[in-house]
Chain A
Amino acid sequence: SAVISQKPSRDICQRGTSLTIQCQVDSQVTMMFWYRQQPGQSLTLIATANQGSEATYESGFVIDKFPISRPNLTFSTLTVSNMSPEDSSIYLCSVGLAGGPLETQYFGPGTRLLVL
């Protein structure tokens, strides 16, 4: 597995502001993923971030709202822009680690976001 850290672990923000979430991995990985988990819901993939290329967004998520950076093989950021109360969620990053024919995804501890 890998050691994955996220900052901040939680935050309370005012509507209309933006928050940048950092994800750091202790080893080089090709693929990093960002998920959103709304209260009482399952995880939904926001986007896949490859180093050196534009992130690939899932249906319903756009770059203007969730810009992502991937400057190197151990780090990524997700920004939640122009926040509204509907953005209150847990945001999790994950990385794929080769362990067989299909990579297992390991998750960071998550960032709990409350938007007032």
Chain B
Amino acid sequence: AQKITQTQPGMFVQEKEAVTLDCTYDTSDPSYGLFWYKQPSSGEMIFLIYQGSYDQQNATEGRYSLNFQKARKSANLVISASQLGDSAMYFCAMREYGNEKLTFGTGTRLTIIP
């Protein structure tokens, strides 16, 4: 069974600094995808970045990058040059190939301090 663990319930970061949000996962399937979503206080879930298990390079999307360490089963999200608008809940999620179900972690609440 797939499982996602986010060990940081909350983080406070100074504006303009970089921040790393931790995510570890567990699966026996060699083919899977890892996703990060942002949930502002409005409640919507915003897709940020995707990493496939066979991707050779770490995924990047603008200020977001994914530090993928397959042997350690970790997929940490790195946000560079943080902004006040980055304050939100961040969820790591995983999906195994051939299974439509997306499993979410418990989330990390990120607060950017001016």
Binding site for B on A (CB under 8 A): 1, 31, 33, 37, 41-45, 48, 58, 90, 92, 94, 96, 99-110, 112
Contacts and interface: CB of A to CB of B under 8 A. Distances in A.
Nearest to A105: B102
Interface string B62-104: 0000000000000000000000000000010001010011101
Given A100-B52, A101-B97, A110-B45, 6 more contacts: A33-B102, A43-B45, A101-B33, A102-B97, A107-B37, A112-B43
A102 B52 contact: yes
A90 B100 contact: no
A7 to B, nearest CB: 14
Categorize the interface residue count of chain B: 20 to 34
B11 to A, nearest CB: 16
Contact of B100 (A33, A100, A108): A33
B31 interface: yes
A43 B97 contact: no
A37 B32 CA distance: 24
Contact of A107 (B32, B45, B105): B45
B58 to A, nearest CB: 15
A45 B103 CA distance: 8
A95 to B, nearest CB: 11
A48 B105 contact: no
A109 B52 contact: no
A104 B100 contact: no
Given A43-B91, A102-B52, A96 B104 contact: no
